[in-house]
Amino acid sequence: GESYAGVRGRYNMLNFERRGMTQGVANYIGGVYVDRSMIGQNTGSKPFTIVPVSYQKKAMDLLVKHVFAPNAYDADAQLFQYLQLQRRGYGFFGNTEDPKLQSIVLSNQMIAIQSILNSVTLARINNSSLYGNTYSVADVMTDLANGIFKSDITGAVNLYRQNLQTEFVKGAINIMEAKTGYDNASKSATYNTLRKIRVMLATAVSPNEQTKAHRSMLLFMIDKALAVK
């Protein structure tokens, strides 16, 4: 005797928690611990200490498995046809009432992408390499590209991954073309990552028209950015 608004509300709460956890995990990549103890307090730690590389890579693995993977949201599908708003009055405030599923998932994925590709994060990774961080921007970008492209490079790309791959390529292009904000090491790592992605896409076999169209568009974007003739 009740509407499905309760189901939708709880699903929204779940995704709110997902975004928070995704942000928390992403922060470990390029992270630096800060200790504000005064000189002489004998804390045994330095003011700035990098997050151990093994922990940064563990964070990346978690994102790849639970946020970026093609099957990361498979369990959600059983709810999709029930995510109905309760109608109030005679409309939905100018919106259509069907759930905007790809936007819900992409918003979670973009929390991680935007955090890692942020100019401050990439600069911190480069700066911390001068006092012990061995997880370089080039390594981070390579792991991101592999996690976002490799698992379905030999088959069809689902809608979640089409959006994710497109937004990652857009973000990488923005870094390379930025006039200010990004340092030289970040730009060179990004350039090399786009070249690697291009090779993967150019040799991929697309089993359906949508996947073929998706990969063609990505190649067009990358070629335009790299000025490939």
| Res. 37: pLDDT tops 60 | yes
User: Does pLDDT of 86 surpass 80?
Assistant: no
Is the CB of residue 28 less than 8 Å from the CB of residue 56?
A: yes
55-64, 99-108, 127-136, 216-225: least confident range: 99-108
Exposed / middle / buried, residue 221 (Cβ in 10 Å: 0-12, 13-18, 19+): middle
pLDDT for the residue numbered 159 = 96
Across the range 3-12, mean pLDDT stands at 90
Report the C-alpha gap between 16 and 2 in whole angstroms. 24
Tens digits of residue pLDDT in 159-213: 999 999 999 999 999 999 998 899 999 999 999 999 999 999 999 989 999 999 9
65 secondary structure, DSSP code: I
Question: How does pLDDT run across 115-159, given as a tens digit for each residue?
Answer: 999 999 999 999 999 999 999 999 999 999 999 999 999 999 999
Whole-Å CA distances, 96 to 66, 92, 105: 30, 7, 18
What per-residue confidence (pLDDT) applies to 64? 97
